Amino acid sequence: MMQKMGSLHRPLISPPPSPKQATNHTFLVKSCRLVGFKGSPGQLKTQKSNALKCGFSSSFKFSTSSMAKNFNESDEYSLSSPSVKTDEVILLDFWPSMFGIRVRVALAEKGIEYQLKEEDLRNKSDLLLRMNPVYKKIPVFIHKGKPICESSIIVQYIDEVWKDKSPLLPSDPYQRAQARFWVDYIDKKVFDAGRRTWYTTGEQQEAAKKEFVEIIKQLEEQLGDKPYFGGETLGYVDVCLIPYYCWFYTYETMGKFNVETECPKFIAWAKRCMQKESISKTLPDEKKVFGFCLDLRKKFGLE
């Protein structure tokens, strides 16, 4: 939910140059989603202003935490580098990314200690480019020196590796397949419709609001009378969906609508999830997210 600002898989407009082609030229990258950024010289090469489309895929990132401050930014990591300790757990992330948040919630549920590396999406680190050379997006989860990309895949990996505590995926094969189906639905539907409620204006925004409410209604129907999508306990679908809740204030304020009026059971579910410490202490403040989006609207001339 690999993970746009995850998995939302945002296609590249044009393939990025090979790392072997890196020179001191600037590789200009254009965000058609939330942010604009450009790669650092010496990392990527452009010949005729190649551009790549960057969204909050299941790999997008947010958050300045004390863990990020403690991370040694001068460290070099690569798949073959001896500086990657085999027992290290590292997360490359960006604080408002709902895709990165779902990974952090899963880690909190499992009680796993890790190092958080906050990425600057306008100047992506060498570590990110090496660990995710295909999409070059966050989040990236590094375990024992090996990277796992795309947020929904990362959450499944965490659940499989640390399976003795707080299982997220059902043990029944059919139920497990259903959980994966709904996370795929979330990744394909929720992000894009939600983004358009605050990133567009006029008729486009009105259409986005209607579509977003219909998507939430569909999810509310799937929830039914269960306390969680996973049944009596927090599960895979809950972990992958709840990060969007810290964006609802932005969607509703900028779009001028109210989700609870249309989908009261869904909001009751969200509030129930927020009572869990692993979630309430992980999701960023909704007003901070709103400020972030407001700055972007101003930057792109929407205010």
Give the pairing of strands 140-143 and 89-93.
antiparallel
| Beta-carbon contacts of residue 260 (< 8 Å; ≥ 6 apart) | 267
CA distances from 199 to 244, 254, 260, 290, 300 (A): 16, 9, 21, 12, 9
Looking at residue 300, its amino acid is F
- What does the pLDDT read at residue 204? 97
Query: What's the whole-model pTM score?
Result: 0.74
Closest CA to 243 of 117, 114, 135, 139: 139
- What does the pLDDT read at residue 178? 98
Phi, psi of 282 (to 5 degrees): -105, -45
- What does the pLDDT read at residue 1? 40
- All structural domains of the chain, each given as residue ranges with its CATH number in brackets, are 173-299 (1.20.1050.10)
Number of C-beta neighbours around residue 165 at 10 A? 10
What is the SS3 string spanning the chain? CCCCCCCCCCCCCCCCCCHHHCCCCCEEEECCCCCCEEECCCCCCCCCCCCCECCCCCCCCECCCHHHHHCCCCCCCCCCCCCCCCCCEEEEECECCHHHHHHHHHHHHHCCCCEEEECCCCCCCHHHHHHCCCCCCCCEEEECCEEEECHHHHHHHHHHHCCCCCCCCCCCHHHHHHHHHHHHHHHHHHHHHHHHHHHCCHHHHHHHHHHHHHHHHHHHHHHCCCCECCECCCCHHHHHHHHHHHHHHHHHHHHCCCHHHHCHHHHHHHHHHHCCHHHHCCCCCHHHHHHHHHHHHHHCCCC
What's the rounded Cα separation, in Å, for the pair 139 and 155?
11
Tokens of 93: 């992330």
What's the rounded Cα separation, in Å, for the pair 16 and 283?
32
- The tens-digit pLDDT sequence of the chain (303 residues) is 444 343 333 333 334 444 444 333 333 333 333 333 334 434 333 333 333 333 344 433 333 333 333 333 333 333 434 344 546 899 999 999 999 999 999 999 999 999 999 999 999 999 999 999 999 999 999 999 999 999 999 999 999 999 999 999 999 999 999 999 999 999 999 999 999 999 999 999 999 999 999 999 999 999 999 999 989 999 999 999 999 999 999 999 999 999 999 999 999 999 999 999 999 999 999 999 999 999 999 998 887
Measure the N-to-C terminal CA separation of the chain; round to a whole number of Å. 27
